[in-house]
Structure 1
């Protein structure tokens, strides 16, 4: 089957990622991007869980009722592909698959994959940054050249990445950062402060997940500015899905996964002008 649109969702075997795939399939027919069949890659680290998620979507009552999937006469096809954003080789292998299979390019990537570990120490921070910040950065760098002009790159961040938990000096460093290197240096300095056991004295919160998501927001802004300066038409934004009831929040949360999916789906499929490099929540830009 040939497709006129191709999209990717990382970390999509459960929670918000799975809900994003569902809502892409549901909302695509009425979206401004609809010009024919859409292929959505549901990616996850674990093949068994990814394929189980795919099967669940094919049995999903709402998708069946809406006749969203190609097997039901709809426009959306969903395929599983292995991807671990904490593994450089995995990212490169998937990027190569996309190049080979979709030579004309792809239309959007939603980088949703991430981890939230319990506890706080140097190893927790290192592991969290490797996946949430550096993994998202590597995935962005590998997939961005494959995205067609007018396409979208969406990096899922969090309200925990807002800058109200930092000293004035650290917050100002985030706000004046102009490049990915600037943001990566902040991540390095945070890791060094945690290793030394004096992150609070240096103006950082003792929260690896929160700092990793601040890094995602800053890095996304820097990538968007660089691409815009080159004349690229790809819209590059980060967003917070909200406090969603998932395994990651350990059953907490005020939103359902479907509600949490709305902002990333809007940034992938919706019409919001040419706004890029912004941080979004509740389907609108917010202050960092």
Structure 2
């Protein structure tokens, strides 16, 4: 595992994979910023990690709020904080499927990640690492040709944003299936996240920022459920690996179990 200096910020760090990623990074001797929307849960999780002797600081963050993101950036900037890595772990999987579910899911899993990443870029050191917590459901295999050709290769960011907004509109109008969209807001959010990963990897290559997506697998978290085959420790492993890559490590890849997998 590469030795890093500086801090690593983990969104959605108060439970599940995010909490375990904070724990494993802390055990490597790194300073960790545990970011979470729920202030009480975030503070409690931070106290648990403190009790384990880890250097972890809590930072309130609602990834769906530009004001909250900007407040975080302002706080860190005034403190002179520099980030060695950013782990975009915050995500949701809602029950049901309608326009409200689609809009809420994309707000966290795609737009939240995009906004957090873009606003934190000035604080990322060179070399730096950006990790997107994705899913196998975001793989292109099995996607309708009509949608796949619009995502592979990824379009410019403005077009990608417009495409995902059109998904919500198509769900609202009941037109999504005819236009080739899958009937899963979660899947579409991860398809968009993977496309964003590929775009950012190219955009930030000259800044020596490594941008990769990771599928942790089906993990026994509150989201994954008790029947999932993987432990939280196993799920967090590749996320921590991607957050601590050496400067010459890969960028623009999709990984599971530390191995590249097809988009």
Q: Tell me, in whole angstroms, the C-alpha distance in 1 between the residues paired with 2:76 and 2:254.
A: 27
- Taking only aligned residues, the RMSD between alpha carbons, in angstroms, comes to 1.6
Residue from 236, 239, 256 that aligns with 1:264: 239
Q: Secondary structure at the match of 2:91?
A: coil
Q: What residue is the counterpart of 1:102 in the other structure?
A: 80
Q: What residue is the counterpart of 1:144 in the other structure?
A: 121
Q: What residue is the counterpart of 1:16 in the other structure?
A: 17
Q: Tell me, in whole angstroms, the C-alpha distance in 2 between the residues paired with 1:254 and 1:186.
A: 34
Residue from 251, 254, 262 that aligns with 1:276: 251
Q: Tell me, in whole angstroms, the C-alpha distance in 1 between the residues paired with 2:245 and 2:200.
A: 21
Would the aligned equivalents of 2:127 and 2:247 in 1 still touch at CA under 8 Å?
Answer: no
Q: What residue is the counterpart of 2:66 in the other structure?
A: 88
Q: What residue is the counterpart of 2:41 in the other structure?
A: 49
Instruction: Report matched runs for 1:212-231 at 5 Å.
Output: 212-228=189-205, 231=206
Q: Establish whether residue 287 from structure 1 lines up as the match of residue 262 from structure 2.
A: yes
Q: Secondary structure at the match of 1:270?
A: coil
Moved over 6 A (4+): none
CA-to-partner distance for each residue in 1:248-280, whole Å, 9 max, x for gaps? 123331111111101110011133833211111
Q: What residue is the counterpart of 1:235 in the other structure?
A: 210
CA-to-partner distance for each residue in 1:32-54, whole Å, 9 max, x for gaps? xxxxxx32001111111011111
Q: What residue is the counterpart of 1:35 in the other structure?
A: none
> What is the deviation of 1:18?
0.4
CA-to-partner distance for each residue in 1:4-52, whole Å, 9 max, x for gaps? 41110000100000010111122x25xxxxxxxx320011111110111
Q: Tell me, in whole angstroms, the C-alpha distance in 1 between the residues paired with 2:63 and 2:87.
A: 12
Q: What residue is the counterpart of 2:167 in the other structure?
A: 190
Would the aligned equivalents of 2:219 and 2:225 in 1 still touch at CA under 8 Å?
Answer: no
- Number of aligned residues: 260
TM, length-normalised to structure 2: 0.94
Q: Tell me, in whole angstroms, the C-alpha distance in 2 between the residues paired with 1:4 and 1:250.
A: 35
Instruction: Report matched runs for 1:3-82 at 5 Å.
Output: 4-26=5-27, 28-29=28-29, 38-60=30-52, 69=53, 76-82=54-60
Would the aligned equivalents of 2:5 and 2:84 in 1 still touch at CA under 8 Å?
Answer: no
**Structure with max Cα Rg:** 1
Q: Secondary structure at the match of 1:249?
A: coil
Q: Tell me, in whole angstroms, the C-alpha distance in 2 between the residues paired with 1:59 and 1:50.
A: 14
Q: Tell me, in whole angstroms, the C-alpha distance in 1 between the residues paired with 2:167 and 2:47.
A: 41
Structure 2 unaligned runs (5+)?
none
Q: Secondary structure at the match of 1:203?
A: coil
> What is the deviation of 1:182?
2.7
TM, length-normalised to structure 1: 0.86
